[in-house]
Amino acid sequence: MTGQTSAPAKVILVGEHAVVYGMPAIALPLSQVRAYADYDICDHALSVHAEQDSQPLFRWSGNGEAPQDPLAALVQLTARHFGASQLRGKITIRSDIPIASGLGSGAAVSAALGRALAAILKRDLPDGALNDIVYEVEKLHHGTPSGIDNTVVVHEKPVYYIKGKTLDFIRITAPLHLVVADTGIAALTRETVSHVRERFRSQRRQTRALLENIGALAKQARSLVETGESWQLGELMTRNHELLRQLGVSSDALDRLVEAALVAGACGAKLSGGGRGGNIIALVDENTMPTVQAALLTAGAKQVITSSVIEKSASL
């Protein structure tokens, strides 16, 4: 028996980095860009493959210490969750989400793989349980993740996230039109998070003020996200970018793309995710979407994705 599972990419609309320090942040799923796991239930010990490689990434032997490899750890945690000592089958992973680009590729691959394992075991894996497992694996990727990436990717819903608080999903009633542009520069979230941590140690007062200001923007943004007030929301996003720049997690390439989007008529723009490389997001109205998209490509974006985000149950 064969099948496919998947999970989406994500963007952080407001509040990255501050969310690690207990401030609120807002994240949205990017449903048209996804990671996939193709599974084949067969009688061999489980092997996990990447689409492009003939050799498996690893074979599951069912014993041993907690692996440091994030995907092997995901398999072990999922097997433990189900009390399964044996896993049989073949899983092939494929992802359209660029790696180390702030779009949640690690969390999406983990979520797709966890779902494929549940399918192989013919067991139900509710999103809450999968989210807990993916969060454990995110710790191997990031060190001290807030949990926002796994939450938005696993639940595939816009979320107003505060670390350690009950999940609070946002109902978006008017579409938010986004243009997501990739600098093409890979940057590890683990490194930018540790840069902020170091800054928090050495310049505590100033860094705390920046993080609190970012958190305040996320708080203000919430109702604007719900009602689709793009211009006011865009202004908050641009202010958020400036605070992230002061925090030291932007780069010339990110600043250039943000500027190009604003000049081309975007309502607002900012880096999204860990920063230093990866993607920017620009909030646009429907009419300016093509102009902003073209301007970002001219300014050097390696790839541009457009997305209109609205809650599935709300009507356009």
Give catalytic residues, as residue numbers.
Answer: 149
Binding to ligand MEV in span 255-274, by CB under 6 A: 273-274
- Locate 195 and state its tokens: 């840069």
Whether the CB-CB separation of 137 and 156 falls below 8 Å is answered with no
Q: 17, 141, 157, 177: which one contacts ligand MEV (CB under 6 A)?
A: 17
Q: How many residues bind ligand MEV (CB under 6 A)?
A: 15
Residue number with CB closer to ligand MEV (12 or 71): 12
Residue 274 CB, nearest distance to ligand MEV (Å)? 4
Task: Please tell me whether residue 98 binds ligand MEV under the rule CB under 6 A.
Answer: no
Nearer to ligand MEV, 257 or 289 (CB): 257
Single residue of 29, 145, 158, 268 touching ligand MEV by CB under 6 A: 145
Transcribe 185-238 into DSSP letters.
Answer: ----HHHHHHHHHHHHHHSHHHHHHHHHHHHHHHHHHHHHHHHT-HHHHHHHHH
Cα distances from 185 to residues 16, 114, 279, 303, 316, in angstroms, run 18, 28, 9, 11, 35
Q: Considering only residues 101, 146, 288, 293, which one is a binding residue for ligand MEV as defined by CB under 6 A?
A: 146
User: Count of alpha carbons within 13 Å of 111, Cβ hemisphere only?
Assistant: 28
CA distance 24 to 63: 39
Single out the residue of 204, 178, 221, 230 nearest to residue 32, CA to CA: 178
> Are 137 and 11 spatial neighbours (Cβ–Cβ below 8 Å)?
no
Q: What is the smallest separation between the CB atom of 54 and ligand MEV, expressed in angstroms? A: 32
Site for ligand MEV in 155-214 (CB under 6 A): 189, 193
The CB-of-52 to ligand MEV minimum distance in angstroms stands at 25
Task: Choose which of 81, 115, 141, 142 interacts with ligand MEV (CB under 6 A).
Answer: 142
Taking the complex as a whole, the smallest distance from the CB of residue 22 to ligand MEV amounts, in Å, to 11
Cβ–Cβ < 8 Å for 161, 168: yes
Q: Position 170: which residue type? A: I
Q: Which is nearer to ligand MEV, 89 or 106 (CB)?
A: 106
Confirm if 281 and 11 have CB atoms less than 8 A apart. Answer: yes
Instruction: Closer to ligand MEV by CB, 178 or 193: give it.
Output: 193
Rounded CA separation 278/147 (Å)? 19
Provide, rounded to whole angstroms, the least separation between the CB of residue 126 and ligand MEV: 23
User: In the complex, which residues of this chain contact ligand MEV (CB under 6 A)?
Assistant: 12, 16-17, 19-20, 102, 142, 145-146, 148-149, 189, 193, 273-274
